[in-house]
Amino acid sequence: MLAGKRIVLGVTGGIAAYKAVEVCRRLIDAGAHVTPILTEGALHFVGETTFSALASEPVRTSLWDVDHDQDGSPIAHTRLGQEADLVLVAPATARLLSDYRTGRSDDLLTATLIATRAPVIVAPAMHTEMWEHPSVSENLGVLRARGVHVVPPEEGRLAGGDSGAGRLADPSTIVARVESVLAKQPTSGDLGGLRILITAGGTREPIDPVRYIGNRSSGKQGFALAEEAAARGADVTVVATVRRPVSTGIEVVTVETADEMHDAVVSRAPTCDVVVMAAAVADFRPVTTAGSKIKKAQGPPEVRLEPTVDILAALGSSKPTGQTLVGFAAETDSVRQNAESKLRAKGADLIVANDVSAPGAGFEHDTNEVVILSTSGAIEVAKADKRVIARAVLDAVISTRSSQ
């Protein structure tokens, strides 16, 4: 399972750093290629020589380390992260979690974490008071929501004779987690060569220059799909109504209204292998848009509405051979039944249905819970981070394409 996998093992400054030696040895025994990065703090607890003797490559400690394999110049701070199949930080101090959360990257380990698209596991270890501090819980919550895996600490003896929650998880537990995370990784590059168009966010239909009819979509699910697709090798374009940070290589086209989204999507779709309509497109828009702000003194305006074009249905009726079309269904009642009728009515290959009224699912949340429907059946995906949902949707796309 771990044979040949490139693992960056980050070690930060805590007494548990000595246990990272055992983690390193186990990873090497299992056949992994381990590159250790020790922070300045870690060097107060463990020696470079110990890790260098055990690992596959010499220990790296600084952004300015010289790379003997690459003509003796400083190693690119991004290289280790880009090449890694997985980055593991054990132990992870409160400082590391905070820097990683905020994107502060002034040492080699944090720069590597920011530069990687590989899965990341952090195994925190610290005193109980620090572990239970809201700042640490909050940082971990944000990292978890971004898809970072956390091996929580255990209860037991801590430095300085204290005992309580905060002791680094056992090396065997940490290595087991590395195995399970890598086992669940899709074959990297399984979407290589595919052009994927994804829509994200809710459209806004203007009433006047300051007011609009909108909805609660945050675009998080669409952008999670884009990131996951890009990480798996696809050539990705997102047509979105919201701006969110994206990895380099993802093209973002910003639109506002259903009409603009229609034009941006319809002009690009014919050359795409996969189109995912994750956006919440308005069904109705004001018949007219006032050119200047409607003043309160004019009294409540009567806003007459007309239907927008159904982009998904339009794509479904002109779908090129070999294209996979994915729609979403935002429902509050009879989820499965409504989604099944959307699958048929709109000519989609897959419909990702979610109950937007369920706790922790749908609009604005970082998590979602969906049923992926196709004409050949349904896959239920339990509540999980939107990136995990994205993974399941793209897995379904791949299996649909293999039978298309």
Which residues contact ligand CTP (rule: CB under 6 A)?
A: 258, 277, 279, 281, 283, 308, 310-312, 327-330, 342
Residues 139/97, Cβ–Cβ less than 8 Å = yes
How far is the C-alpha of 43 from the C-alpha of 362, rounded, in Å? 45
C-beta of 284: minimal distance to ligand CTP in Å?
Answer: 9
3-state percent helix, strand, coil for the chain, nearest multiple of 5? 35, 25, 40
Show Cβ contacts of residue 230 under 8 Å, excluding neighbours closer than 6 positions: 117, 236, 247, 249, 250
Q: What's the first-to-final CA gap in the chain, in angstroms?
A: 31
Q: Which residue has the tokens 């990687």?
A: 116
C-beta of 338: minimal distance to ligand CTP in Å?
Answer: 6
CB-CB neighbours of 161 under 10 Å: 6
- Assess whether 368 carries a catalytic annotation: no
C-beta of 182: minimal distance to ligand CTP in Å?
Answer: 33
The residue among 139 and 241 lying less far from ligand CTP, judged by its C-beta, is: 241
Residues 195/272, Cβ–Cβ less than 8 Å = yes
The residue among 20 and 312 lying less far from ligand CTP, judged by its C-beta, is: 312
C-beta of 229: minimal distance to ligand CTP in Å?
Answer: 16
CB-CB neighbours of 375 under 10 Å: 11
Catalytic residue among 215, 338, 354, 368: 215
Beta strands in 128-194, from DSSP E residues, in sequence order: 149-150, 154-157, 163-167
C-beta of 277: minimal distance to ligand CTP in Å?
Answer: 4
The residue among 174 and 242 lying less far from ligand CTP, judged by its C-beta, is: 242
Identify the CA nearest to 129 among candidates 101, 149, 159.
159
Calculate the alpha carbon distances from 82 to 118, 255, 295 in Å: 8, 32, 55
The residue among 8 and 329 lying less far from ligand CTP, judged by its C-beta, is: 329
The residue among 5 and 342 lying less far from ligand CTP, judged by its C-beta, is: 342
Torsion over CA of 46, 52, 57 and 60, rounded to 10 degrees?
40
How far is the C-alpha of 134 from the C-alpha of 320, rounded, in Å? 52
C-beta of 397: minimal distance to ligand CTP in Å?
Answer: 14
The residue among 186 and 347 lying less far from ligand CTP, judged by its C-beta, is: 347
Q: Which residue has the tokens 């009728």?
A: 341
- Could you give the residue numbers annotated as active site? 215
